[in-house]
Every structure is written in structure tokens, then in C-alpha cells.
Amino acid sequence: MKKFLKILGVILGIFVAYCLIAILFFDSHYHGEKSIVINATQEKVWQNVNSMRAINSWSPWMKLDKNLVKTYKGNSGVVGDFFAWKGNDEVGEGEQEITRIEPNQLVTTKMHFIKPFEDYATSNIKLEPAGNDTKVTWDIDFDCTTIMKPMKPVLDRQMMSTFDEGLNDLKTLSEK
């Protein structure tokens, strides 16, 4: 029993040390980014990223709650195109709005997460020519609270997995 408690104490000590180091030295800003090359023209890919409805047709977060309540406002495909959602614990509640558009090149959105916690983020979907194909880069930026800093490696792994899923769905949709 003493050996077990000693091992448990060492593990707990390492965990606490890691958390303290992360809180003191990890940057509070988070940037996640993933790219994919799609065998389609920029114009064709653009059709699948140029509005909130289009983005939601391949967004991996839309799959997490089949009863998700979605509300759209504004004109589709222009600055001000607005989407609000309310769902289960995995999806939470929030709002997303297009804040910048460069046709066939860039869509920038601002997100306001309401539940399970309040936070803000910005996201970009960039399209670039890649020969006859299109390179799509999806990114997200936000600031982590001090208590969330130790979770950045887990968050990064989760975000990259989600980006992979979404970009692969966008690729499938765009290459039809």
C-alpha cells in the first residue's frame, strides 16, 4: 500500500508541476491551423465556404447533435451573414458571423461561445491556387484563460482532428 501511495504521490507531483509550468510559461493565445489540397477549382470550393449555410454543410460540429437548433440571419454569403446554434453539451450554444469576405479567396468569421462557457474566437478559411487544384487552409484563434493553459496540448490534438474531419468532408463535397 505504501508503494502505491508513493507512486500516486509522484504522479500527482508531476501533474501539479506540469500545470504550474504551463500556467507560468504557456502563451495564452491559441492558434490552430490545418490545410488540405482539393482537386477542384477555387470557384467550385468557394461555393462550399462562402456562407454560414455552406460552411455548416461540412462542419464537423454540426454532426455532434442531430437535434441542434440553428438560426440564420442576414443575407447569405455577405459580411453580416449570421448563424446561431443551441445544442447538447458537446455543441453548447453560440453565434458565428461572417466579418470579412474576399471572393474565391477568404472568409473570416467571428464566434461568440455562450455555453458551456463564454469565449470569443476568430476563424479563417483561405483558398489558394495549387496548380489545377485548390489549397484550403482553415484556422482558429482565441485566448485561453490561465486555468485552460495546461489543456492546450489536448485542445490542439482535438482541434487538429476536428479540422481534419471538416476539411476531408469539404474535399469530398467539392470534388463531386
- pLDDT per residue over 5-15, tens digit each? 888 888 888 88
Q: How confident is the model at residue 152 (pLDDT cuts 50, 70, 90)?
A: confident
Q: Report the CATH number at residue 38.
A: 3.30.530.20
| pLDDT at position 171 over 80 | yes
Amino acid identity of 69?
A: V
Task: Tell me the per-residue pLDDT of 21-67, one tens digit each, with 9 for 90 and over.
Answer: 777 777 788 899 999 999 999 999 999 999 999 999 999 989 989 89
Q: Residues 89-100, buried b or exposed e (16+ Cβ, 10 A)?
A: eebbebbbbbee
Backbone phi, psi, residue 119, to 5°: -165, 170
Our count of domains for the chain comes to: 1
Mean of per-residue pLDDT scores for the chain: 91
The whole-model pTM stands at 0.84
| pLDDT at position 20 over 80 | no
Q: What integer pLDDT is reported at residue 19 of this predicted model?
A: 75
What range does the domain containing 47 cover? 2-174
